[in-house]
Structure 1
Amino acid sequence: MEWRENGVEQGFHVDLMRKVTAMSGTELNIRRKSFSALVEQMELPPTDVDLICVVTPIDFSRPLQQSDPIYATHAKAFTRQTNAFINSWNDLAGKRVAIKKGSFVDVYVSNIDAPFERVDVDLYETGFRMLGWGRVDVVLAENLVARRLLPKYPLVRSASDPLIFGTFNFVAHPSQKALMEQVNKAIRELKITGEYDTLVNKWFGIGREKVDLIANQQRWLRIAIVVAVLSVVGLVITWNMSVHLRRRSLSLSSELKQREAAERALTSVSQQFQSVLDGIPHGVFLFGADATQLWSNGKYLEQLLCGKLTKNNGEPFVLKDLLSNVSQQGQDSEFELTKDNQHWRCQAHPISSGQVVVLLQLITEQKRLQQAHEQASRLASLGELSAGVAHEINNPTGLILHNISLLAEVICDIEPLVEQQQAQDPYWQLAGLPPQEAMQEAVQASGAIEEGARRISRIVSDLKQYAAPAPREALATVDLNQVVDASLRLTTNQTKRHQLVLDLSPEPALLIGDASQLQQVLINLIQNACHAMADDNGELSIATWREGYSIHLRVSDSGRGMEPATLRRIREPFFTTRRNQGGTGLGLSVSSRIVQEHKGSWDIQSKLGQGSQFELTFPYSP
C-alpha cells in the first residue's frame, strides 16, 4: 500500500509512519529494497533498516519483533479470464501457483501441506506477468495490491473467495524491542485521538481502495470529459452546489484545525502526565477487574510480579488475592513486604469498575535507620543502667575482697591448731570432713571467692568506662602509629604465636584524641583477632594510612570469622561468644563508645571460615 509518485513516497503506511515519528520526535527515512532482501536483513542483521511493514497470516507468527495489528487484509486466487474459478484449496491440486517470496502468503503456505506446484516470484506483478504468459496457472496474491495491478493486466481476474486472512504489522529485529514499544504506543495514541481513523478514511474511505484511483486516473479523466459535455445544461446548478460545497469545506477545514489543536493539547497533557508518573520514585500500577495489568510506570514491576515477596508475618504475597480482596471489599490495604533483605511498603486502592491502583515504595533505608535508632536508644538506656548497677555493685565487691583476705590469713593461722586437735582426737571432723580435707576445701573456696570478686570488680570497671565519656581535657594530638606500637608491646604474648603483618603510614597519622583510650580499642581488637585464630601461625594484619582528611586503621585476621547473626550483635553490651572463657561482652561495646567520642566510625566485614576485618576511620588533625 505504498508507492512513489513524481519522486514522492506515498501510501497509507507512509502517512502512518510520519505521524508516529512526529509524535516520538524521531526522523523518518524511507529506503527502497526488494521485499525478500528486507525480510532476510530483518532476520539476519546487520541492516540499515529499522522497520518494515509486512502482512502476517492470522494463524501464524513471524520469528521477528511485531507491532500491534495495523490493518486487516486477505489473499485469494487470481487466474486468466478463461480459467475456472477456485472454490477451495483442493481446486489448486496439480496447478502451478505463483507465490511472492517472503510475503504472508509464503509464510502461510510454508506451514501447510500444499497440494500444488509452487513457483516463487519476487513481486506480485511478476506473478501476474507470468500468468498472462501462461507460465503459471494461479497467482495467490494479497487483495489490496492485486486490485491495483488488475487494471494493468486485462487478461487476469479474481477467481476465488478469500483463502488466507492476515493483518498488516510493522516488523523489526528482536533487538529493536524498545523501538517497537515506542511505535505501538504512538499507534495506540493515534487510535485514541482519532487520527488513525482519519488516515483510514483518507486512503480507503470511498469503497474501492484509493490505490485503484491512481492506477485508473486516465479512465476517470475520459469519463469526466464525457460527463462534463453532457452536463452543460446543469452548469448553473453545479455552480450553486460548488458554492455550497466551498462553504462546507471552509467549515470543515475550520473544524479540522480546531480538532487538531485539541489533539495537540491532549497529547501535550498526556505527555506531561506521563512524565510526572515516570518521575515518581515509587512503582505505580493499574490493574483491571480480571487482574490484568492495564498500565504501570515501570518501576519495581519485576519485584511485584516475581512471586517471591513475603509479608511481615511470613506469609507469601499473592498479587491476585490482594486485587480480589481490595476490589470486593472496596477498602484500601497497606502492608510491608520483604525479599532478599529488601523492604517495600505496598498500598492498594480500589477505583471504579473493579480496577485497583497498587503503589510499591522501597523503604529498606528507612527500616535500617529505624533499627539503628532503636538500637541506639537501647544502648543509651543500658549505659545509664550500667552506671547505676556498677555503683551499687562496687561497694559490696570491695567488702568481699577486703574480708576474703582476712579469712585467708585466719585459715593459715588455724592450720597448726587443726593438726594438734586431730592428733588428740583422730575422729574429729570439720564440717563433716576430715580436718586436712576440710582445710584444703576452705583454701580453695577462699581463692574461688577472691577470683570471683575480682572478676566482678573488672566487670564493674568496664561498666564505668562504658558509661563515662572521656574528659575533654584528656584529648591531645595523637599519632595512631605510636598507638599501634604501644598496643603491640602490651599484647606480645598473644601475637607471638601468629604471623604479624604491619603496614603503617610512612607519615604521622595524627588525630585529636586520648592515646590510652585508643590503645584500649586496639588492644581489644588484637586480642579478639588472636582468640579467633585458634591455631598457631594465623595471620594478623594491621595497617594505617591517610586518605584525604581521614586517618584509617585496619585490623584483619585469618580466623574463623562470624555468622551474620553474631556480626549484627557484637557491639551490644554483654554479648559475647566466649562466656565460658571469661568474656564479659563489654570490650567492643566500650570500644564502640570510644570511637564515637573520637568522632570516628568503623566498618566490620566478616565471613564464616574466612576471617574478619575491622576498619576504623578518624578525622585527620595535623
Structure 2
Amino acid sequence: MVSLFKTHYFAFTILLITFLGCSVSICHAEDYLQPAAEPQTKQIVIGGDYNYPPYEFIDSKGKYTGYNVELSREIATVMGLNIKIKLDTWENTRALFDQGEIDILQGMAATPERTDLYNFSPHTYVNHSIFARDDSPKITNYTELEGYRVIVQANGSAFDMLNEAKLNIVLIPVETHADALRLLASGRYDFAVVSNLPGLYLSQKLGLSNIKAISSLERNRLYGYATKTADKALLSQFTQGLAILKNTGRQQEIYDKWFGPLEVSIWSKAGIAAGLFVVVLLFISTVVLIWNKALRKKVESRTKELQAQQLQLLHADKMASLGVLVSGVAHEINNPCSILTLNFPFVKEAFEQAIEILDEHQVEHGDFLIAGVSYNRLKHMLPETLDDMHVASNKVKGIVEDLKSFAVKGETAHQKNERLDLNELTKRSLRLVNNQLKNSTSNVEVNLANKLPTFYGSGSRIEQVIVNLILNACQALENKSQKITITTYFHSKYDSVVLTVEDQGIGINAKDLRKLTDPFYTTKRQSGGTGLGLSVSAGIVRDHQGQITFKSTLGEGTKSKLSLPLIQKENEL
C-alpha cells in the first residue's frame, strides 16, 4: 500500500492541477449578465502550435484538432465570432503574434515574464516534466540537470525557465515536443523537458516505450488564451465565452473527450488519496503567492496615480475616479479568487471520499504523517480549515464587488435580504482577523449579548464593516499590552442591535474625527492606507438604514459604534 502511494504522487498532482485549472476562466459576476456579442464581420485570427497534442495539433487527415481548437470553435459559436485558426511551429506562431498578424493565442503559459507583455484568460494548467530513457542518469530534481544535455521546445516556457535557472545545462532546442521525445528515445542526449500531458500522449501514440516521466519541473503554470495588453475587449469576449461553456457543462465535455482516456490509464484510488494532500498545499500556496504579488503591484501602482492626481480629484467627481481605480484591479483580484471559491468545495469533497481509503491504510499500518501532521489530527482539521478558507475567499470577492458598488452610485445588484444574527457575524469576523488581533494585542475582551434579535440584510457586507472596525482598532494600538473590547447588545429604545469596538490606542483628534468616512481620507497614507475602508463601510451601513459613529480622545483611544435597526422590509434594501 505504501509503495502504491509513492508511485502515484506525481501523476495525480498533474491531473488534479489540470482539473482545478479548468475553472479559472470565470471572472467578474457581470460577465454572466452580458448578452453574447453580435456576429462580427472582422475575422479574428487565432494562433497555436501545430504539434502540441492533445491541446492542439494537425491530425493525419491534415485537419486542425485538439482541446484548444475545439474550445475556440465552441466559443466562436456561442459568442457569434468570425474566427480563423492558424497552427504553425510555436516559434513562427509567437513571431506572427508579436507582429500583430495573429490576434489571440489559444494556448500560452502565463509565466511572470509574459504577464508583463500579454493579458491572459486561463482555462487550465500546464506542468512540465523531465523525461528520461531507461538508461539515463538517475536524477530526482531539475537542479540535478546541471552538466547534462537537455532537449526542450524552442521559445517555450520550459526553455525560458531553464535559461533563467543559471545552471550549467546544455540546452538542445527543437521545433516540437514530438521531436524532443524522438531524439531522446533514439539514444541522443540525456534528458528532455516537455509539458507533461502532451509528453504522455505522444510517448504512447508514437510507441516510445523506452522513455518515461521521472520528475516534475516544479513549476505549474496557468494556461489559456493570451492577447496583447491593448486587446482587453477581445480577451473579454473569449473570457465570457469560457464562462458560458463552463456553466452549460460543454467545456467539461470537451475536456473529458481529450483528457479522460489518458487520465484513466494512469491514475488509481491510492494515488488520489496520497496526491490530494500534496495538491492542496501546492494549490493554495501557489494561488496565494500569485494573488498577493498581483494585488501588491496593482495597489502600489494605483496609489501613486492617486497621489499624482490629488489636486485634480479635489475638483472632480471622486466617485467616478474610484470607478476607474476599481475597474483596473477587479479583474486581477477576481481571477485568482475565483480559483479558490470554485475549488475549495471540490477539494473538501475529494478529501471526504478519500477518507475511507486512508482509514483502511491507518488500520493496516497505524497512524501516519501527511505534510508533517498525523492523519488522526488532519482528518478533523483539514475540512474546518478548508471551510474557513472558502469563507475568506468569498469575503475577498465580496469586497471587490462592494468597491465597484460604491463607485457606481445606486447599484444594488449584490444586496441581499437574509435573516442575520449580529453575534454570529461578529464571531465569524473575529475568526477572519484572528491573526491580526494576535499580532496587535494580548488583551482582547469579547462581550456578546445573549439571544440578540435578528435583522435583515447582507451578511457578507455587514461582516465587512465589522472586520474594518476591528482592523482599525488593531492599527491604532502602540503595544500589545493595550486592550481591545468588542461588545454587542440590544438597544430597546431604538429597536436596534449594536456592536461597539473600543481600543486603548493613539486616538484621533477632533478635526480628523469628522472626516473618517470621507472617501480617500486616511491618516495612514504612508503605510499603504487608501481611505476607502471606513468610507465603504459607512455606505454599507446606510444601505441597511443603520448608523456608524465614532468617539475618541487623543492619546487615550477610540470607540466605534455600529447600530442596525431590526425592522427592515426586503424592498427597502
Instruction: Compare CA radii of gyration and give the structure with the larger one.
Output: 1
Determine if the TM-score, normalized by the shorter chain, exceeds 0.5: no
Could you state the TM-score of these two structures normalised by the residue count of structure 2?
Answer: 0.39
Which is bigger in relative contact order (C-alpha 8 A, separation at least 6)?
Answer: 2
